[in-house]
Amino acid sequence: MKAVRYFGHKDVRIVHDLEKPTPTGDQVLVKIAGAGVCHSDLHIIDEGTIPPGNTFTLGHENAGYIEAVGPNVTGFNTGDAVLVYGPWGCGHCKPCLQSHENYCDHQAEQAYGGGLGLDGGMADYMLVPHSRLLVHIHDLDPVIAAPLTDAALTPYSAIKRSAHKLTPDEFVVVIGVGGLGHIAIQLLKATSGATIIACDVTPEKLEFAKSLGAAYAINSRDADAAEQIKKITGVKKAKVILDFVGATPTVTLGAQVVSLNGDQTIVGLGGANYPFTPGKVTFGVNMSMPYWGSKAELEEVIGLARQGKIHVEIEQFPMDQILEVYDRMRAGKLKGRAVLVP
Ligand code: NAD
Ligand code: ZN
């Protein structure tokens, strides 16, 4: 079978001769229908964040149809349309038992999951180690649903942390209107009454943000971006900042516009230095760096998608074009989420 393989720092190749796996025990083989392309792949490829010597199939946003199940599997049958829950924990510790495999106690001792050190879904087939990592998607199209496992689940979980602060009298700033950010705007629209201020760096992305429900859209590279935001919010500033870039300029902008007792939530892995000086930061601010979301939250995300309250804007590509897709992502030239279709 064909797959997009990571061989090391800046070395990604398409291979054609991988053996189609056979599921044993609790394993499930999924015939991939769509594999989302996440910016986290670029952190792995360009920054070499995975230790050398690891070779694996990329793709951690996967959906498809069950091809075969191991003998221990119950509740899933051949032909079922499923999403693969991405952060694979040990399955036994307390966070895992509470559905938070994204915060598994053993995360430091193991690879993070398929496409993140273990074989993922940019391939004809993906072997999922246990059926507990699958979620039924019912009537959703797996090509469109694939990004729900990360591009929607991650912002959904980040927004839930701040749900009590996202009241209709408050302002929320979304920085980065890419794969995650474009769904974050829709999630905020669907689940909160807060006024949405979006930031990105091109006029196209700013227009896109407005079309999705942002009341205001500001170019964060404008020298007076913080002043523009404060003009909108007034003296109280923005109660919640959701930063889907996480680079020093965006984290600095967030710190300038977050309100007293607000939340500055940094989802992007852009390597920022956080301007933290006790006595100089805004009092009461909770700074957090959430990772992905729980499997129970993924069920809730699927509920929102099935109700038509969120929709992933996708651009489809054949697997052979992956290197071109990564280049477009580096240049910020994708609209919404790119999905590879085998
Ligand atoms: P993406 O490439 O689809 O989107 C990034 C967006 O940010 C683009 O629209 C780009 O134009 C915009 N941008 C770039 N620089 C900017 C700046 N200075 N100011 C404002 N906007 C700017 O990326 P994505 O797939 O949505 O991922 C976003 C980030 O989130 C990545 O760093 C990724 O690794 C990270 N991520 C984190 C988690 C987690 O669990 N913490 C999960 C998934 C992705
Ligand atoms: Zn991701």
C-beta 201 within 6 A of ligand 1: yes
C-alpha 146 to ligand 2 mean position (Å) = 11
Q: Which CATH class is domain 153-288?
A: alpha beta
- Among 68-77, 195-204, 274-283, the minimum mean pLDDT is found in 274-283
**Nearest ligand atom owner, CA of 86:** 2
pLDDT tens figures, 231-259: 999 999 999 999 999 999 999 999 999 99
pLDDT above 90: residue 50: no
Residue closest by Cα to atom 44 of ligand 1:
40
> Does the CB atom of residue 119 touch ligand 1 within 6 A?
no
Pick from 47-61, 159-173, 226-240: least confident = 47-61
| Reported confidence tier of residue 7, pLDDT bands at 50, 70, 90 | very high
178 ligand 1 Cβ < 6 A: yes
Taking the C-alpha atoms of residue 35 and residue 121, their distance in angstroms, rounded to an integer, is 6
Cα of 330 vs centre of ligand 2, distance in Å, is 15
Q: What is the CATH number of domain 3-149+293-341?
A: 3.90.180.10
CA 149 – ligand 2 centroid, Å:
8
pLDDT in tens, 66-78: 999 999 999 999 9
| pLDDT for 62 | 98
Q: What CA–CA distance (Å, rounded) separates 246 from 215?
A: 22
Distance from the alpha carbon of residue 151 to the mean position of ligand 2, in angstroms: 7
Q: 16-32, pLDDT tens digit by residue?
A: 999 999 999 999 999 99
Q: Whose CA is nearest to atom 39 of ligand 1?
A: 291
Question: Where in the chain are all domains bearing CATH 3.40.50.720?
Answer: 153-288
From-to residues of CATH 3.90.180.10 in the chain: 3-149+293-341
The number of the ligand nearest the C-alpha atom of 61 reads 2
Residue 52: pLDDT over 90: no
Query: What is the distance in A from the centroid of ligand 1 to the CA of 267?
Result: 8
